[in-house]
Amino acid sequence: MTTFEVALGGPTDWGIDTSATTVFDFDYKGGRDQLLRLYDKGTRRQWIGSDRLDWSLDVDPEGPVGMPDELHPLFGTPWWDKMTDKERVEARRHLEAWRFSQFMHGEQGALICTAKIVQTVPDVDSKFYAATQVIDEARHVEVYSRYLYDKVQLVYPLNKNLESLLNDVIQDSRWDMTYLGMQVLIEGLALAAFGLIRNAATEPLAKALNAYVMQDEARHVTFGRIALRDYYPQLTQAERDEREEFCVDACYRMRDRFLGEEVWERLGLPQEASDYVEHSDLLRSFRNYLFTRIVPIIKDIGLWGPRITKAFTDMGVIEYAESDLDAEMANDEMAAEELDKKRMRHIEEVASQA
């Protein structure tokens, strides 16, 4: 097997100072039924990364994930047409390595944010649920990093836009801002991106990994929705406006997160190629698609004033407000269960042949 350079530079650690207050809740009996049911579900649905996923599958490090070329941002551009076969292999491999690396770093952000929620959220039922999510997020970091280091053998550092968003969310001392930034915005965006890979990837390990992570994420988004739907009506209009403003700014920043300039630079492409990709129809529809989950969630939690509706209208994603979130989440659960059934059938077949 060819040996690749694995980690592409970047710092080895990152510290963020925060002044958040750690809160005890002594009302042990005041739990909300819906949240306690979600906690019960989160506890029962735990899984082990090394058992549920088949790591013995061979993944070609030269063509990981197996996304169709038509979905590569460079596909159809003069730069793609000029590439040799070897250069196209690199273009595919670097794009997937970059994308999965941002998933992995984002998952570590989720791990840290959820641990922070355990400390700062005022209600014990939310602390219970968040505790199950902490282990989910640790598992997500584990499976993405294992896929990257063992299979793709190429890891990109944290993207600058994602870094600045994580910094703002973690630094903010208000518990609901951690939810809003992480559970609603970052996870909402990630869910859409994971979904694209789950549905379009042809490499079975990457497909299953994303499907199983999505099954957990569907619960996480529900957690954010329950907590914020209860809390936001209690705030003043000025406080809600401030949160809306934060969402508008974060959404614009996130739209710029998936441009992949680091990849084009690494591949030695000119700035012109990066600009071309940024304005291409494919990337525009991909960036819009990333908002399929965020828009209905923001509407659902009641941050639906003129600032946010104007921003979503300008971005061309306002129509997602009408999508059926519960149906999407049920579909995420079903997709993972289908894969489990398939896996069990395969295990039974192998056992019967032995």
Q: Which of 317, 253, 319 is nearest to 289 (CA)?
A: 317
198 binds Fe ion (CB under 5 A): no
Token reading at 125:
């039922």
Contacts of 272 (CB under 8 A, 6+ apart): none
Q: How far apart, in whole angstroms, are the C-alpha atoms of residue 171 and residue 237?
A: 23
Task: Give the largest CA-CA distance in the chain.
Answer: 68
Residue 67 Cβ, how far from Fe ion at the closest point, in Å?
21
Residue 167 Cβ, how far from Fe ion at the closest point, in Å?
19
Per-residue x/- track, 14-53, Fe ion (CB under 5 A) = ----------------------------------------
Contact stretch for Fe ion (CB under 5 A) within 16-24, 58-66, 107-115, 272-280: 107-115
Residue 350 Cβ, how far from Fe ion at the closest point, in Å?
31
Residue 142 Cβ, how far from Fe ion at the closest point, in Å?
11
Q: How far apart, in whole angstroms, are the C-alpha atoms of residue 224 and residue 113?
A: 12
Pick from 91, 110, 277, 294: which binds Fe ion (CB under 5 A)?
110
Residue 144 Cβ, how far from Fe ion at the closest point, in Å?
9
Q: Which is nearer to Fe ion, 107 or 203 (CB)?
A: 107
Judge contact between 332 and 215, C-beta under 8 A: yes
Residue 352 Cβ, how far from Fe ion at the closest point, in Å?
36
Q: Which is nearer to Fe ion, 185 or 339 (CB)?
A: 185
Residue 248 Cβ, how far from Fe ion at the closest point, in Å?
23
Pick from 140, 243, 257, 299: which binds Fe ion (CB under 5 A)?
140
Pick from 220, 225, 243, 257: which binds Fe ion (CB under 5 A)?
220
Contact stretch for Fe ion (CB under 5 A) within 43-51, 119-127, 134-142, 317-325: 134-142
Q: How far apart, in whole angstroms, are the C-alpha atoms of residue 175 and residue 173?
A: 6
Give the DSSP H/E element, type plus range, for residue 115.
Answer: helix 85-120
Q: Which is nearer to Fe ion, 132 or 153 (CB)?
A: 132
Q: Which is nearer to Fe ion, 114 or 161 (CB)?
A: 114
Torsion on CA atoms 239, 243, 246, 251, rounded to nearest 10 = -160
By CB under 5 A, the count of residues binding Fe ion is 7
Q: How far apart, in whole angstroms, are the C-alpha atoms of residue 49 and residue 59?
A: 17
Q: Which is nearer to Fe ion, 155 or 221 (CB)?
A: 221
- DSSP, residue by residue, 240-308: HHHHHHHHHHHHHHHHTGGG-HHHHHHTT--HHHHHHHHTSHHHHHHHHHTTTTHHHHHHHTT--SHHH
Q: How far apart, in whole angstroms, are the C-alpha atoms of residue 63 and residue 295?
A: 33
Token reading at 215:
């099954």
Q: Which is nearer to Fe ion, 42 or 73 (CB)?
A: 42
Q: Which is nearer to Fe ion, 187 or 328 (CB)?
A: 187
Q: How far apart, in whole angstroms, are the C-alpha atoms of residue 200 and residue 71?
A: 9
* 12 to 15, 157, 197, 270, 327: CA distances (angstroms): 11, 9, 28, 29, 40
Contact stretch for Fe ion (CB under 5 A) within 11-19, 220-228, 272-280, 340-348: 220-228
Q: Which of 74, 80, 102, 96 is nearest to 274 (CA)?
A: 74
Q: How far apart, in whole angstroms, are the C-alpha atoms of residue 274 and residue 4?
A: 25
Q: Which is nearer to Fe ion, 107 or 328 (CB)?
A: 107
Residue 128 Cβ, how far from Fe ion at the closest point, in Å?
16
Contact stretch for Fe ion (CB under 5 A) within 14-22, 23-31, 65-73, 211-219: 211-219
Residue 110 Cβ, how far from Fe ion at the closest point, in Å?
5
| Footprint on this chain of Fe ion (rule: CB under 5 A) | 107, 110, 137, 140, 187, 217, 220
